[in-house]
Amino acid sequence: MKYLKIFIGIFKARWLLWQCENEAVNRYGFNGKRVFINTVKFNCVSTPIEFFFGLYVVSRGGSVFQVIDDGFLEHHDLFQYCQGKRELNPSKLKIYKCMISIYALVINRIFTRYKVLTIGALLRDNNEASDRPREYQNLVDLWANSSTERFYQSDLSNVLLVEDYQRRSRKNCWVGIAIAKAMLDDYECDSLISSHGIYSLWAPAYNLFKDRGDTRVLLYGTNTYKEGELTFSSLVLQCQSQSDEYKDYMRSSPSNLEIAEEFMRSRLSHSSKDTQVYYAGRSGTIELNKSYFNILVCPNVVWDGNVPDRDALFDGLIDWVNWYQNLIFSSENVHVYIRFHPAESTWYPNALSLYDVLERKGLLLQHERITYLKSDEKLDLYSFLNEFDLIGVYDGILALEAAYVGVPVFIGALGRFSGFQLSDTFNSKEQMLKEIQKASKGAVLNPGCIETAIKCCAFYIDYSSVRLSIVDNVGVDYGANVMRLSKQDLLENEKLNFWMSLLIK
C-alpha cells in the first residue's frame, strides 16, 4: 500500500506540475541546469522526497537525472548486523526490481526533462565501471570502513565477516565513482542533490562533485529534532559547522533567536521530539564528590554518522572516549563520568551499545574515579548537568545545552557545533590535557557561551530547516508521504527556494 501511494502521487504530481509550470519557471530558474539526484535506494522515504526535488527542478526549466539501484550494488547501507537480514540489498528481490522498472517507466513517459536511470542500465556499457583509478584508493578505503563500522556498530572483532563486508563496500564505492563520472562527463550534470554524502552509497558522488569545483552540491536529511522538516547543507551534515552558510549565519545578527531559546527550554524540560523519548520515565540523579574536578563525557551513538570527515584531534569516537578515561592517570584530582547516549536504549534498542563495544575491546577501566552511566539507567541528565566542572562532547546537541546552562564544554570533533566560541579550541591533545590539568588545580575555564549556543541552535532548528508537507516523521526519525505534495511547497516555500538556489549560484 505504501508503494502504491508513490505511484498515485506521481500522477498527482503531473497534474500539479501542469498547474505550476507557467508560474514556476520564472522563480529561481533552473533553465539549462542539469541536476543529478543520487537516490540509490527505492523506498518509501528517500524516493518520494527526492522525486519532489526533481519535480521542483523540472518545474523551473531544469533537467533531472535520478539514479536508482536495480540490484547492481552489494548492499544499501541500510540494515545492520543486529537485524539479521538475509538480503542486504532489497533491490535484488524481484518485487523491488518490478517496482523500480515501473517507477522509471512512468516518470520517463509522463515527464519531460526528468529521466530515471537504473544503475544496471547506466553502467552496462560504461567502461569506467570496471576502472579503479589509484587516486581514489585511499578514499574508497575510508568510505568502505565507515560503512563497515556502521553495519557492525563498530564491533569489528569477527575478521572474516568484517573483511567480506568491507569488500562489498569497496565494490559499492567503485560503482559510485563510475556513476558520478558518468553524470559529470556523459550527462554533463552541474549539480548534485543527495542525502548523507557519506558511506559507500553517497560519499563517492558527493566527493567527486565537490572536487570538480564548478559544480554545486545540496545535501539534506530529516531534522530529527522537529517533525515535518528537512535540514539542508552544502557539506556533509556531520560537518555542517564548516560550511559557508553556517559561518555566514554565525557572523550575522539574526532576529529570530527566540525560536531557539524556546527550543532549548523544551529540551531541558523533556518536551522536544527526541527528549520526550529519551527521558520518558527517567528522574534519577547522582551525587558528585565536589572535592574532585568532575568531567561528564557524553559520546554519540558510536556507529551513527561515524565518518572520518569530522575527526580532527582524535581518531574517531572510541579514541576520544579512551582519552578521557585515561585522564585519571595523568590528573590526580579528576573524576570522569561517561554517560552513554539514551538513544541506544530507546531509538535503537537492538543495536550494539558503545559500552558493549568498549567492553569487547577491553577498554573499560575499573577505577574509583571512573563512573559509567549506561544508556538504560533511568537518569535525568538535565537535572544535574550544571553540577559538572566540564562537559566533553564529541559532536552532539548536548554541547549547546551545556553552554546554555553555563557549563564549560570541550568539543572533540569538527562536527555540527564547533567553533565561534561555543567552546575552547585546541591544536593538540597535549594542549587540551594541560588546560584540564590547570582547571583541576583551580584555574577557571571559560564558561560555555550562551549567546553562541542560542545562535547555533537557531541555525539548525530554523535557518537550515525547512518545513515540507511531504515529510512525515511523526514519532520516527524518517518518513515521507508523497500524497501530500503541494503547490505551495513547489512555488511559495521561501526557505526551500533559498536552499535550492544554492544549486544555481
Say what the pLDDT of residue 220 is. Answer: 96
The CATH number for 107's domain is 3.40.50
Q: What angle do CA 29, 33, 37 make, to 5 degrees?
A: 110
pLDDT of 251 strictly over 80 = yes
Output the pLDDT for position 254: 87
Helix (H) or strand (E) holding 202: helix 199-212
Kindly state the percentage of the chain with pLDDT values over 70: 94
Question: At 187, is the pLDDT very low, low, confident or very high (cuts 50, 70, 90)?
Answer: very high
Above 70 in pLDDT, residue 392?
yes
pLDDT for position 1: 64
Instruction: Based on the fold, state whether residues 171 and 310 are members of the same structural domain.
Output: no
Q: Is residue 171 within a helix (H) or strand (E), and if so which, with residue range?
A: helix 159-181
3-state SS, residue 160: helix
Residues 91 and 179 in one domain: yes
Query: Tell me: the pLDDT tens digits for 69-99?
Result: 999 999 999 878 766 666 688 888 888 899 9
> Is 387 a domain residue?
yes
Residue 476 pLDDT exceeds 70 = no
Residue whose grid cell is 550527462: 187
Phi, psi of 250 (to 5 degrees): -70, -25
Query: What is d(CA 261, CA 267) in angstroms, rounded to the nearest whole number?
Result: 10
Same domain for 30 and 90, yes or no, is: yes
Residue 154 within any structural domain of the chain: yes
Q: How confident is the prediction for the chain on average, in pLDDT?
A: 88
Same domain for 298 and 430?
A: yes
Query: What does the alpha-carbon distance between residue 178 and residue 181 come to, in Å, rounded to a whole number?
Result: 5
Residue 249 lies in a domain: no
Q: 192: pLDDT confidence band, cut at 50, 70 and 90? A: very high
Provide the pairing of β-strand 229-233 with 465-467. Answer: antiparallel
Residue 258 lies in a domain: no
Pick the range with the lowest mean pLDDT from 20-24, 155-159, 409-413: 20-24
pLDDT-based confidence at residue 28 (cuts at 50, 70, 90): low
- CA–CA separation, 237 and 241 (whole Å): 9
Distances (CA, A) of 466 to 229, 441, 481: 5, 46, 16
Quick one: 433 exposed, middle or buried, by C-beta within 10 A (0-12, 13-18, 19+)?
middle
Report the pLDDT value the prediction gives residue 492, as an integer from 0 to 100. 82
Average pLDDT over residues 43-53: 91
Q: Kindly state the DSSP code that residue 459 receives in the 8-state scheme.
A: I
Q: Is residue 260 part of a domain?
A: no
pLDDT digits (tens, 9 = 90+) for 417-432: 887 777 777 889 999 9
* CA 335 to each of CA 314, 324, 327, 412: distance values in angstroms, whole numbers, following the listed order: 21, 10, 9, 19
CA angle, residues 338, 339, 340, in degrees to nearest 5: 110
Rounded Cα gap, residues 299 and 340, in angstroms: 6
Q: 151-185, pLDDT tens digit by residue? A: 887 777 777 888 999 999 999 999 999 999 999 99
Q: Which domain holds residue 165?
A: 2-228+468-501
> What's 138-154 look like in SS3?
HHHHHHHHHHHHHHCCC
Grid cell of 218 as nine digits = 545540496
Rounded to an integer, the average pLDDT of 457-471 is: 93
Residues 295 and 356 in one domain: yes
Residue tagged 575552547 (cell numbers): 424
In this structure, what DSSP letter does residue 484 have?
Answer: G
* Total domains present in the chain: 2
Residues 147 and 33 in one domain: yes
pTM: 0.91
In a domain, residue 213? The reply is: yes
- Beta pairing class for 334-339 and 34-40: unpaired
Contacts of 420 by beta carbon, 8 Å cutoff, 6+ apart: 250, 452, 455, 456
Q: What would the mean pLDDT of 203-209 be, rounded to a whole number?
A: 97
State yes or no: pLDDT of 464 exceeds 80. Answer: yes
Convert 391-403 to b/e letters by CB count within 10 Å (16 or more is b): bbbbbbbbbbbbb
pLDDT in tens, 296-346: 999 988 777 777 888 888 988 899 999 999 999 998 899 999 999 888 888
pLDDT at 85: 65
pLDDT at 21 over 80: no
What pLDDT shows up at residue 87?
A: 67
Q: Do 432 and 483 belong together in one domain?
A: no
What is the pLDDT at residue 347? 78
Task: State whether 137 and 215 are in the same domain.
Answer: yes
Q: Does residue 387 share a domain with residue 366?
A: yes
Residue 464 near residue 474 (C-beta atoms within 8 A): no
pLDDT for 125: 63
The answer as to whether 244 is a domain residue is no
Question: Do both 372 and 472 map to the same domain?
Answer: no
User: Does residue 136 surpass a pLDDT of 60?
Assistant: yes
Q: Are residues 69 and 173 in the same domain?
A: yes
How confident is the model over 266-305, as pLDDT tens digits?
998 988 878 887 777 777 788 899 999 999 999 988 777 7
**415 and 283 fall within a common domain:** yes
23 band by pLDDT with thresholds 50, 70 and 90: low
pLDDT at 128 over 70: no
The verdict on residue 410 lying in a domain is: yes
